[in-house]
Amino acid sequence: MSSRIVPLSVLETFNQNQGRMAISSIIFAELAHGVKKSANPARNLSMVEDFVSRLDVLPYDDRTAWQYGIIRAALERQGTPIGVNDLHIPGHARNLGMIIVTNNLREFERVSGISEVNWVQEEHRLAWPCPITIHYSRSFPTYLGRNYFSSTLNLFIPKFRDGLGYLLVRSSLLSFRKPST
């Protein structure tokens, strides 16, 4: 997968919302796997712990598992399956009434009963006035202190449903980089 450049404002929004975010326990498991198979597990464990310390870990419950099964069976019947781990994202989103915001629309537009939008495109950029929840997976930032990081982020951002719904934001292998001066 190729990296894409995302404005620093996206990272700033993430940083401004620390303490108001969460990750799925499924994504947390992917982070743990990434740490253990990495060339530098001690350093990566420290980064994951730092990242997760800013978040709550959302439980993966039986209703989410049921949605996963429904979605997987429907996609298999259509002959349009998506990756098994990626099936958990729309399952979680559908269970919690969330919108998936992703730069990988092709993967999720095959799933019925969910909404998705490309958050990387400027015309879809969102104002994030409410608490956000993050689903984070695959590759963790190589070092948060650098000018950029590559990652796969899945964010839940509230939509208005009794004042509290959520928006699921996903971006694949993004690079956040400070603008040249």
Q: What are the start-end ranges of the H helices in 17-155?
A: 25-37, 41-52, 62-78, 84-96, 105-108
Q: How do the domains of the chain map onto residue ranges?
A: 4-176
Architecture of domain 4-176: 3-Layer(aba) Sandwich (3.40)
Handedness of CA 118, 22, 143, 30 (dihedral sign): negative
- Contact criterion met (CB below 8 Å) for 130 and 157: yes
pLDDT tens digit string along 141-171? Answer: 333 333 223 333 444 433 333 332 233 433 3
Beta strand 21-24 with 55-58 is: parallel
99-150 pLDDT tens trace:
665 666 777 888 888 766 554 454 444 443 333 333 333 333 333 333 223 3
The model's pLDDT over 17-35, given as tens digits with 9 standing for 90+, comes to: 565 555 677 777 877 888 8
| Cα 80–Cα 99–Cα 54 angle in degrees, nearest 5 | 115
Give the containing element (helix H, strand E) for 11.
Answer: helix 8-16
58 HSE (CA, 13 A, CB side): 26
- The string of pLDDT tens digits covering residues 57-94 is 778 899 999 999 999 999 999 999 988 877 887 888 78
Determine the pLDDT at residue 13: 55
